[in-house]
A = this chain, B = another copy of it.
Amino acid sequence: MQRIGSALWPSLQCFQVYGANTNVGKTIVSTALCKAWRGKLDLSVHYLKPVSTGPLDDADVNHMAKFAPGVNTKTLFQFSKPLSPHIAAKDAGDIPPDLTVQQRTYHDLSEAVTKADVAIVETAGGVLSPAPSGSVQADVYRPLRLPVLLVGDYHLGGISSTIAAYESLRIRGYDVLAHFIFEDAEYQNSKYLTDFFLGNKVSTIELPKPPRQVEDAMKDLQNMQTYYSDVAASHAILEAVERLGHQHEARIKRLGEMSARAADTIWYPFTQHKGRRPEDIVVIDSAFGDNFDTLSNTMSPEASILTPAMDGSASWWTQGLGHGNPSLALSAASAAGRYGHVMFAGAIHEPALSLAEMLLQHHDNPRLAKVFYSDNGSTGMEVAVKMALRAARTRYGWDHAQEDIGILGLRGSYHGDTMGVMDCSEPSTYNDRIEWYNPKGYWLDYPTVIMRAGRWFVEPPHGQEAAFGNAQSFDSLNDIFDLRRREDAVYTRYIEKTLTELRDAGRKFGALILEPVILGAGGMNFIDPLFQHALIKAVRNRPDLIGTQKLRKPGSLDSWSGLPVVFDEVFTGLYRLGRFNCSSFLQAQPDIVVNAKLLTGGLIPLCTTTASQDIFDAFLSDEKADALLHGHSYTAHAVGCAVAVDSLDAMMQMEKTGKWDEFRRSWATDEVTGEGCWSMWSKEFVTKVTNKESIDGVFAIGSVLALTLKDAAGGGYNSLAAQGLHSRLLDIGDKGWRIHSRVLGNVLYLMTSQITTWETLKNVEQFILESVN
């Protein structure tokens, strides 16, 4: 199957003609341009009208053939009623789906490459007129992201419709290269719009109005022929076609230089730059839905130099609602237009309040009461640590000037790169060369979940069967999560023994910090949920092992006991694992939860740290100095909050309306239907891949898939075992697309967005099955 992506062929200049309204002269502008290309520059020209309505005689292709002879013309879908395509197609009883329109348009252009120098794709009606399916036309063609020639509206009111059309194109990520408009002495729209577009760095080409239609058909024909001859030879048009050619070349040149320029100017995150070649930097021209459109290394002028590539890490775990989502773009723009950013000290605005109320409601956790905003997971975890330590210190009466207060966590945890939260992780490759790194805590071992050769297992950490018990096999993932039926005595014994030893050694802790279910950056470790459940229970039930023998409010759900329990759900929360949050997986609710990444559907940074009333109260005092003196300039920025409200709403609607039911069904077991855990990756696929020779084990939950590859050297961060598979997924071969995955040691993981479709997943799964040895 030919993937649809951004279309850019060096040897074929392609432009899409959009009209600011219907009846503004799209076909006339197209014809004049084609005639100019044919005539003066002697180029081969291809004219495509993907969707046309009205009687065939009047069809735009015929007009083109008549007045710009020699231009190759084509219509893909012709509907006879002279109405909007969505009505005309319905009337004809033949409604091509958007994907078909996209594919056939792309295919037609790719066939034109060897035959033509320039191609024009003329749209129907206005910018946002419906396609046959009813989708807005500019959305349908967006995956191809052809450079746009906008034909302005010269009628009364046309200034408004032209600027509005331009804005709607920009919201959808189009580049508008030029604006064409007919001169009109009365309304003078062209004069106004020339200035407007100049301010937006878009040039305007004014064309004389075509002659009025006359009764005499022959005369009419002659008039039009004269018109076109004049216009096609006019300075304005010739300059325009020349400039368009330059713009086409300049775009390709810039794309070709970007890797080298980036290597010159950018200091990349998490990257050892020694030996990194500029050509290893992927140039992303744009992105849409699940895909990046990346510059290929192909340099044949007849091959498209842009290749769709699945964003297989969901852009570092951020993507929820897909790239280039016009609805989120409008949410962002709307908040920007209403507020910009407004200071959040002592103030409130609707998006921040709506989001806070939404989070408190949907976390559905009686412990949670207050939302604190920051900019990203790392800063939000810094806030969580400050909150928890203060609450614990205050309750237990510790003096932090005299005593070290650390955190309890799990080995391999990761909470971000600011130095405070680096100290929440035990020494590792990530942190131990950082000059100020100073680990503050204790990190427990834990049993993990994995599927091997079609069976699910819970396995103790290497060589620790004595403490954790032997590996156990399960029929399904749901059985592993059925905590009520499982026995946690062994885990509890191990945890309480550890806590006792720590207490006896004089260690003090101010928080239990967990990434629920999966440790992300630490290596995609799927922890036995029963262990995390037992750990939380032990900490809450045995405050005597922490700092005091007294429970302040025993049994109270809205007060913490033992230690404040912090869930770092930056990675795992907000539907990553198929649910709004992770509490139901662990049958335990946190006192503080941190959300980021998917919070904004994958658009811009924002983070919330949501805490209990009890923890909030620990900062109340007559002294300002006792307050949580933390804040960022863009705290609760309106744009982020508005996008988050709309993103969460969209994801909750998807859940409510059963958009993920097809995925769920694949994972349903007899006992657990509907409510069980599930993955976008099908059970059939996951099972199949575990039987591959090179695979040690696999897990999938929610949108996450992790493949552990066999490594004779034992795996770990520096393992190269997954490199081969990573490269094979990047190899475009004859598939027309590729997959960007990410590697952590000998684990290769893939992550979908929350809108990835069943069909796409089937293709990705097939690709993987073919690529794994």
Contact = CB atoms under 8 A, between A and B. Distances in A.
A142 B258 CA distance: 40
A273 to B, nearest CB: 6
Given A269-B635, A270-B627, A280-B346, 7 more contacts: A173-B339, A268-B345, A269-B345, A269-B630, A270-B630, A382-B419, A603-B639
Nearest to A145: B338
A156 B629 contact: no
Contacts of A549: none
A342 B292 contact: yes
A19 to B, nearest CB: 8
Contacts of A740: 343
B611 A417 contact: no
A409 interface: no
Contact of A510 (B287, B376, B435, B611): B435
Contacts of A687: none
Interface string A295-321: 000000000000000010101111100
Contact of A83 (B186, B313, B418, B422): B186
Name the 5 nearest CB pairs between A and B, nearest first: A269-B631, A126-B160, A419-B420, A22-B157, A173-B338
How many subunits of this chain does the assembly comprise? 2
Contacts of A265: 353, 356-357, 360, 369-371
A346 B271 contact: yes
A159 interface: yes
A291 to B, nearest CB: 10
A324 B339 contact: yes
Nearest to A86: B192
A449 to B, nearest CB: 25
A623 B280 CA distance: 18
A157 B23 contact: yes
Interface string A467-507: 00000000000000000000000000000000000000000
A559 B747 CA distance: 40
Contact of A21 (B161, B163, B261, B275): B161
Contacts of A22: 156-157, 160
A165 interface: yes
Nearest to A337: B173
A200 B159 CA distance: 25
Given A173-B339, A440-B436, A332 B157 contact: no
Contact of A356 (B164, B266, B335, B375): B266
A637 interface: yes
A688 interface: no
Contact of A430 (B436, B629, B632): B629
Given A192-B130, A345-B316, A420-B436, A604 B338 contact: no
A340 B357 contact: no
B372 A269 contact: yes
Interface in A243-281: 254, 258-259, 261-262, 265-275, 280-281
Contact of A339 (B262, B287, B346, B360): B287
A390 interface: yes
Nearest to A625: B429
Contacts of A616: 267, 273
Contacts of A330: 167, 170-171, 333
A284 interface: yes
Interface string A344-380: 1111111011001100100000000111110111110
A443 interface: no
A375 B23 CA distance: 46
A474 to B, nearest CB: 32
Contacts of A620: 272-274
A266 B353 CA distance: 8
A169 to B, nearest CB: 9
Interface in A594-641: 596-597, 602-605, 609, 611, 616, 619-635, 637, 639-640
A319 to B, nearest CB: 7
Given A192-B86, A266-B356, A418 B348 contact: no
10 contacts: A84-B192, A128-B160, A171-B171, A271-B346, A272-B620, A273-B627, A274-B620, A316-B343, A318-B634, A385-B419
Contacts of A356: 262, 265-266
Interface string A75-108: 0000000011011000000000000000000000
A348 B448 CA distance: 36
Given A353-B265, A435-B510, A632-B376, A283 B639 contact: no
